[in-house]
Structure 1
Amino acid sequence: MISVHMQPAYHPACSRSCTAFKVMGHAGMRTTGPDGSLIIKPAFPAEHRFYEMLNRDPHLARLRPFIPKFLGTLESYSGSGSQFLKAEAEAEADSNGFLVPIPVPPGRTQSLILENLCSAFVKPNTLDVKLGTVFYDEFMAEDKVLRMERTARETTSRSTGVRLTEFQVYDNVTSEAICVPKSYGKALAVSELPEGIARFFPVHCEPSSSALHNGNGAVGPSPSRGLPRKTLIPILRAIRQTVSKIRDVYASFEMRMVGGSLLIMYEADWSRAEAGVRRLLASSSSSMPRPIPIPSSGEEDWDRAHTHRSPSPCVVKLVDFAHTRLAPGEGPDEGVLLGLDTMLKLLDGRIAQLTAGASEECTC
C-alpha cells in the first residue's frame, strides 16, 4: 500500500539549494511514499489536459513509454490516504513542526500525480535539455514572446534546437552532487555544447603517480569524478538508443511541444550503475526480454510493478507539457526534431571520445 507521508522533493545527499527536482525546474513539487515513488506536481490546466489526452487517445499510445507515468490528480486520485494527500499537498513542516504554505507559481491550479523518476536511483545524475527553436505560443503576452525570441536567438536554441539548463552530477570522491546553474547553459556557444555534455558524463580517471604522491611521498586523493569507462559507455549507448526511439516516434506525430524538455537521468553510484549495465547487456542479448510494465491504474498494481521491476542505470523522458498541443495539418515539429538530432550527435561525440582510448584528462 502506498504511504502518504509527504517528503520534500530532494535527494538526501543534495542540498536544498540544488536538487534533482530543482534541476527539473518544478517549484512546489513533493514526493510521497517511503521510497518516494510518486510526486505531486503543481501544473497548468493545459498540462493536465495533455496527460489526460495521452492516457485516453490510442493514437498517442506510441508516445506513452517516453513520458512520465500519470496516475491522476489529487482531486481524482482514489488511492489510500488521498484525503491526507489533498490536505498536505500544498504545505510542509517548518523547523517547529508547523505546516507552512509551499510557494507555487501563479496559474498552476492542478496537482498532478506522476511517477517519480528519481526514486529508482541512489545518486541521480540529472540533466534537463530544453528542446526546440520556438518557446512561445499564440496565448503568450507580447512582452514574453519578445523575451522568448531573444533567449532563443542569444543561446544555442535557435541554431541547434537544444539548450542545456541546470544539471547535477555526483562527485564520487565527495559523494556530493555538483550542481551547474542555468546560466552555464545559456552562456554556452554552439561549439561548446560537447564540453557541456562531457561535464554531464564525466569519466573516472585512474590517477597518475604524480597525482597520487605529494612532494613528501605521501599518498594523495584520487582525482576520480565519474563512472568507470566500461560502465559509462554502455549507459551512454542506452541513452542514445532511447533518444533515437523518441526522435522516430515524435516525428510520426503532428504536434507542437513549446518549452518542453528532454530529461536524462543516470545512476552515479558505482555498484548500482554496474549492476544496471549488467542487466542492460543481459537484456540486449536475450531474444525474449520481459520488462514489467507500469500498470495504467490501480494502487496495488503500482506498488507491485514498482517494487519488482529491475532498476535501470538510466532513464530518458520527455517532460514539461504546459504548452503542448496536437497540430493536425501542420506537419512534424521541426524545431524539436532538430534538437533531438543535435542530442544524438552530441551523444555520438561523447561515446567516440570515451572509446578512443584512455588519454582524456581528468578535468570533468
Structure 2
Amino acid sequence: MVGKKRIPSPDQLRDYNYAVAGHAGTLCDADGELFIKPCTQTEIDFYQEVETKGYRDFAEIMPLYMGELQLSSTDDVPLQDALMGVISGDGDFKTTKEQIAATIAEAVDQTTWVPTQGKKIKTDKSVVLENASYGYKKANILDVKLGVRLWADDAPAEKKTRFDTISSQTTHGKLGFRISGMRVYQGSEDESTLDEEGYKIYDKDFGRLSVNNDNVVDAFRKFIFNKAAGVHTALGRAVCSAFVRDLQRIEEVLTSHETRMYSSSLLFIFEGDGAALDAAIEKNNEIMDRQSAESYTCPPVSRTNMSLDSRMDSGIALEPEDDYDYEDNDEDDDELRLPQIYTLKLIDFAHANFTPNQGPDENVLLGVRSLLRIFKEMAGEDD
C-alpha cells in the first residue's frame, strides 16, 4: 500500500486545486483521504438525492460522498478559520478520518444558501468527499469542464453573456468540453518549467488560449504519453483504453438519467510515474490471481490484455464486479488493497439537478462523446 502522502498547506491547496476539485479553499484530512469542499446547498442536495433515491449507477461515477459539514451561521468567520479545531491552518493536519466523520455527525446547524448573483460564494456549508487522488505516487490530474452551455437558468444576464463568449471562443462550442487545468509529472524536459514536486502545471488559460479544435488531441497526449516519466506508448495506450471503458460507462449512466448539469467536470487521474504504474498493474494482477486461486470474491476489477515491454500482460482494472469487504480483513489490508492505477469521476454539482420528463442532458453528453472519440484515437482503437 502506498505510504502516507504529504499534505500541502491550505495556500498550496489553493494553488493547484483547479486540477483536483475545481474549488479554492478545499482542505484535506490528515491522511489525505478526504476533501472538505465549501459548496452551495444545491450541490449538497444533489449528492443527497443520488444517495436517498438509490441511484447506485450515478453514485459510482461521482466521488464517494461522506456527508456534509455545516458551520454555525452566527460565527461570521471564514470557513478555514472556523475549521481550526478540525484542521490547523499552518498545514499541520492532525485530524483523522474518524474525527472528521464525528464532526460531520455533530454538525446540526442549518442555514439557507442565497444565490450570489455572480459574486464570490460565501457559505458555511461544505461537502465531505473521498479524495480521488489519494494513494497515487505521482498522480497526473486533468480537469475537463463539460458542456456547450455553461450557465444555469438562474444565472444573471452578465454571467450568461460572459460564459457564452468563453464557449464560442474555445473547444466548448464544437466539442462540448474544455480543458480546465492539468498537472503532469515530469511533463517537460525543461526543469525550470516544473514545480518543486516535478510537475508541469497547465492552468485555466491553457484550455482557453492554447487549445483549439485542431490541436486538442495533442493536448490530451501531453497528459497521457510521457517518455520522461516512463509512460511509453504501450503503457499510455493501456491507460487510454481504461479511460475509454469508463467514459462509455459514464455515457451510459448519463443517457439513462434525466438531469441538467452546468459547469460540471470530468476528473481524470492516473499514476504518472511509469515505473510505479507498471508495478501497480503487476501487483493488481498478483492480487487478482491469488484471490482467484484461493476462491475469494474478486475485488472490483476485470482483466484485459495489453502489451508491456514486448510481452503480454494482464491489465488495468476496468469494470466493477462483486464488492470486496476490506473492513473484515484489516490484518491483510496491506496485502489485499489494490494499488491505484487510474480514476475517472464526474465532479462539481453546484448547478446540477435531476429533471424528470426532460430527457438526458445532451449538453453534457456532447462533451462526454467527444472525449470518448479522442481517447479511442489515443488508445489506437481507430487504427
TM-score higher than 0.5 here? yes
- Within 5 Å, give how 1:297-312 maps onto structure 2: 309-312=337-340
The correspondence for 2:166, drawn from 144, 151, 165, is: 151
Q: Is the contact made by 1:66 and 1:318 (CA closer than 8 Å) also made in structure 2? A: yes
Question: What TM-score results when the alignment is normalised by the length of structure 2?
Answer: 0.70
Would you say 1:191 and 2:214 are equivalent positions?
yes
Q: Shift of residue 16 of structure 1?
A: 6.3
Separation (CA, whole Å) in 1 of partners of 2:14 and 2:232:
28
Q: 1:70 maps to what in 2?
A: 65
Q: Is the contact made by 1:74 and 1:85 (CA closer than 8 Å) also made in structure 2? A: no
Say which is worse superposed, 344-353 or 23-32, in terms of deviation: 344-353
Separation (CA, whole Å) in 1 of partners of 2:215 and 2:62:
29
- Within 5 Å, give how 1:20-39 maps onto structure 2: 22-33=19-30, 35-39=31-35
Q: Shift of residue 306 of structure 1?
A: 8.7
Q: Structure 1: state its 5+ residue gaps.
A: 1-5, 77-83, 96-103, 205-223, 357-364
Separation (CA, whole Å) in 2 of partners of 1:73 and 1:306:
28
Would you say 1:345 and 2:354 are equivalent positions?
no
Q: 2:133 maps to what in 1?
A: 118
Deviations 1:163-214 (A, max 9, x none): 011100000776601001111111222111111111111231xxxxxxxxxx
Q: Shift of residue 25 of structure 1?
A: 1.8
Q: 2:89 maps to what in 1?
A: 92
- Within 5 Å, give how 1:159-174 maps onto structure 2: 159-171=174-186
Separation (CA, whole Å) in 2 of partners of 1:20 and 1:135:
20
Q: 2:350 maps to what in 1?
A: 322
Would you say 1:176 and 2:176 are equivalent positions?
no
Q: Is the contact made by 1:118 and 1:124 (CA closer than 8 Å) also made in structure 2? A: yes
The correspondence for 2:238, drawn from 231, 234, 237, is: 234
Equivalent residue letter for 2:199: A
When residues 50 and 90 of structure 1 are mapped into structure 2, their CA distance, relative to the original with a 3 A threshold, is farther
Separation (CA, whole Å) in 2 of partners of 1:283 and 1:346:
32
- Within 5 Å, give how 1:33-72 maps onto structure 2: 33=30, 35-58=31-54, 60-72=55-67
Q: Shift of residue 71 of structure 1?
A: 0.8
Q: Structure 2: state its 5+ residue gaps.
A: 1-5, 72-80, 93-118, 192-196, 301-321
Would you say 1:262 and 2:277 are equivalent positions?
no
Say which is worse superposed, 18-27 or 153-162, in terms of deviation: 18-27
Q: 2:316 maps to what in 1?
A: none
Number of aligned positions between the proteins: 307
Secondary structure of the equivalent of 1:118?
Answer: coil
When residues 17 and 42 of structure 1 are mapped into structure 2, their CA distance, relative to the original with a 3 A threshold, is closer
Separation (CA, whole Å) in 1 of partners of 2:371 and 2:354:
23
Question: What TM-score results when the alignment is normalised by the length of structure 1?
Answer: 0.74
Equivalent residue letter for 2:203: P
Separation (CA, whole Å) in 1 of partners of 2:128 and 2:346:
16
Deviations 1:258-290 (A, max 9, x none): 110000000012332112323566789979632
Separation (CA, whole Å) in 2 of partners of 1:200 and 1:88:
38
Q: Shift of residue 255 of structure 1?
A: 0.4
Equivalent residue letter for 1:242: D
RMSD: 3.6
Q: Shift of residue 329 of structure 1?
A: 1.3
Deviations 1:95-116 (A, max 9, x none): 9xxxxxxxx9523331111101
The correspondence for 2:299, drawn from 275, 280, 290, is: 290
When residues 335 and 86 of structure 1 are mapped into structure 2, their CA distance, relative to the original with a 3 A threshold, is same
The correspondence for 1:250, drawn from 238, 241, 254, is: 254
Q: Shift of residue 322 of structure 1?
A: 0.2
Secondary structure of the equivalent of 2:133?
Answer: helix
When residues 143 and 105 of structure 1 are mapped into structure 2, their CA distance, relative to the original with a 3 A threshold, is closer
Q: Shift of residue 135 of structure 1?
A: 0.8
Q: Shift of residue 74 of structure 1?
A: 2.4
Q: Is the contact made by 2:13 and 2:24 (CA closer than 8 Å) also made in structure 1? A: no
Q: 2:103 maps to what in 1?
A: none
Separation (CA, whole Å) in 1 of partners of 2:168 and 2:87:
37
When residues 232 and 118 of structure 1 are mapped into structure 2, their CA distance, relative to the original with a 3 A threshold, is same
Secondary structure of the equivalent of 1:166?
Answer: strand
The correspondence for 1:202, drawn from 225, 237, 246, is: 225
Secondary structure of the equivalent of 1:199?
Answer: helix
Q: Shift of residue 92 of structure 1?
A: 1.1
Separation (CA, whole Å) in 2 of partners of 1:9 and 1:317:
25
Secondary structure of the equivalent of 1:93?
Answer: coil
- Within 5 Å, give how 1:275-286 maps onto structure 2: 275-278=279-282
Q: Is the contact made by 1:30 and 1:39 (CA closer than 8 Å) also made in structure 2? A: yes
Separation (CA, whole Å) in 1 of partners of 2:360 and 2:332:
34
